Amino acid sequence: MISVGIIGGTGYTGKKLIQYCSSHPFVDDYKIYSGKSAGENLYDYFPGLVGLINNTKINSVNDLSYEHDLYFIALPHGESLNYVPSLIANGKYVIDLGGDYRLDVDKLYEQSYKYSHTSPDLLKTKIYGLADYPEINYEDFKLVANPGCYPTAVLLSLLPLVENLSEKILTVSCIAYSGTSGAGKKATTELMLSEMDGNVKAYKVNGHQHEPEILQQLAKKGFNSSFSFTTHLLPVATGIYLTTSVHLTEAIHSEEVNEIYNDVYKNSSFIRLRNTPPELKWVVDTNFCDINVTVKDKVIIITTAIDNLIKGASGQAVQNMNKIFGWDETLGILNKEIKDAAVY
Ligand SMILES: NC(=O)c1ccc[n+]([C@@H]2O[C@H](COP(=O)([O-])OP(=O)(O)OC[C@H]3O[C@@H](n4cnc5c(N)ncnc54)[C@H](OP(=O)(O)O)[C@@H]3O)[C@@H](O)[C@H]2O)c1
């Protein structure tokens, strides 16, 4: 049994973390820490959770203690830098849902997030927690940088190809769509219902802060081909939909490509390889990542859907917690008995 602190527990991803922790068989107790909402009751803050979780007072981050075994941090970019070093120095496990520790190099962080990094040494000692990719070894790591929502979708879609065919990849184009919850709960005019209802728009074209994170992870597998990443806002609250086009130097058979994906994800609990392009509604409110791959001559099209708040954040974070402690990765997230691993 462990005790958990959820820092930033009153935000969108924080709410999901509370739900997962309250139903997790090995989480004994948890405390919520936040900024402005400190002092309020959780039930007043999340009336929809009455009857689903126990009521509790929201604590201030200023009163953060080292009483917990593991801390989830779900704060806006830049804020984790204030808490991670002391938590790690006190021997605590930390899973940071934000972008402060995902990049390996502080200069890249400063370019992408416009903050100076105050604990660059920890960038080298963290693990990048793409929980569904089969190679991660969690031993000896205290700090897990939980991947960004878009990088989760892109990397789970592309890594199997890059790992197996990188020398044959000419270009990759990722066209991604996200619901408005991807920006968190802070109100901005462009995310208002009156702006987004009936609307779709591209944003941060050629400048999204997640692109360096994606390229960093792809480069580790030998990727150095041409890459583009274009993000759009969708008039829905939740979900990421991604279409990735991969152009190869030579034609390939679909059997070979399918074999690669089946092999990489053969033991995965949360990747569902689909025989038709997935729909957003199939994954919203779940920790699944649905992937369909189609091949025609030299072109591979991958369509992918995830819930940005769950697979792209809190569900993956709880999966990472399960892996840190050597528990079944599905604990608290999925009724494993129901899972059918076959392609459907
Ligand atoms: N939303 C997504 O789809 C998504 C996906 C992947 C990763 N992430 C990352 O996860 C993190 C949290 O995202 P979110 O969408 O849950 O954000 P959010 O809805 O804006 O929530 C932010 C939380 O941080 C607290 N907070 C804000 N400023 C603070 C400060 N100065 N001191 C202490 N607490 C503070 C807020 O509490 P008060 O209001 O009480 O201050 C709230 O609990 C971000 O780094 C984000 O990039 C988000």
DSSP string over 152-196: HHHHHHHHHHHHHHGGGEEEEEEEEEE-GGGG-S---GGGSHHHH
Q: Residues with Cβ < 8 Å from 9, sequence gap 6 or more?
A: 15, 17, 18, 32, 33, 34, 58, 74
Q: Domain 2-125 is in which class?
A: alpha beta
Tally of CB atoms within 10 A around 120 = 16
Give the residue, by CA position, lying nearest to ligand 1 atom 47: 98
Expressed in angstroms and rounded, the spacing between residue 115 Cα and the centre of ligand 1 is 17
Ligand 1, from 12, 19, 101, 130: best to mutate by most atoms within 8 Å of Cβ?
A: 12
Spot the catalytic one: 21, 149, 174, 289. Answer: 149
Helix axes 149-165, 210-219, angle to 10 degrees: 20
Query: Tens digit of pLDDT per residue, the chain (344 long)?
Result: 999 999 999 999 999 999 999 999 999 999 999 999 999 999 999 999 999 888 999 999 999 999 999 999 999 999 999 999 999 999 999 999 999 999 999 999 999 999 899 999 999 999 999 999 977 788 889 999 999 999 999 999 999 999 999 999 999 999 999 999 999 999 899 999 999 999 999 999 999 999 999 999 999 999 999 999 999 999 999 999 999 999 999 999 999 999 999 999 999 999 999 999 999 999 999 999 999 999 999 999 999 999 999 999 999 999 999 999 999 999 999 866 555 544 55
Distance CA 314, CA 19 (A): 10
Give the residue, by CA position, lying nearest to ligand 1 atom 35: 35
Ligand 1, from 12, 41, 75, 210: best to mutate by most atoms within 8 Å of Cβ?
A: 75
Expressed in angstroms and rounded, the spacing between residue 264 Cα and the centre of ligand 1 is 33
Ligand 1, from 13, 63, 109, 240: best to mutate by most atoms within 8 Å of Cβ?
A: 13
Nearest CA-CA partner of 319 in 266, 270, 250, 261: 270
Instruction: Provide CATH 3.40.50.720 ranges for the chain.
Output: 2-125
Residues in contact with ligand 1 (CB, 6 Å cut-off): 8-14, 34-37, 61, 74-77, 79, 97-99, 148-149, 181-182, 184-186, 308-309, 312-313
Distance CA 41, CA 56 (A): 6
Give the residue, by CA position, lying nearest to ligand 1 atom 32: 35
* 149 catalytic per annotation: yes
Expressed in angstroms and rounded, the spacing between residue 97 Cα and the centre of ligand 1 is 9
Sign (positive or negative) of CA dihedral 318, 320, 312, 13? positive
Instruction: Provide CATH 3.30.360.10 ranges for the chain.
Output: 150-308
CA torsion, points 240, 25, 273, 163, in degrees to nearest 10? 80
* Structure token digits, residue 173: 């184009």
Nearest CA-CA partner of 92 in 73, 72, 126, 69: 69
Backbone angles phi, psi at 39, to 5 degrees: 95, -20
Expressed in angstroms and rounded, the spacing between residue 74 Cα and the centre of ligand 1 is 5
Expressed in angstroms and rounded, the spacing between residue 206 Cα and the centre of ligand 1 is 25
The amino acid present at 290, given as its one-letter code, is: D
Superfamily of domain 150-308: Dihydrodipicolinate Reductase; domain 2 (3.30.360.10)
Sign (positive or negative) of CA dihedral 329, 334, 340, 343? negative
Taking the model in full, what pTM does it have?
0.96
Report pLDDT for 336. 60
Q: Residues with Cβ < 8 Å from 158, sequence gap 6 or more?
A: 172, 174, 218, 244, 246, 302
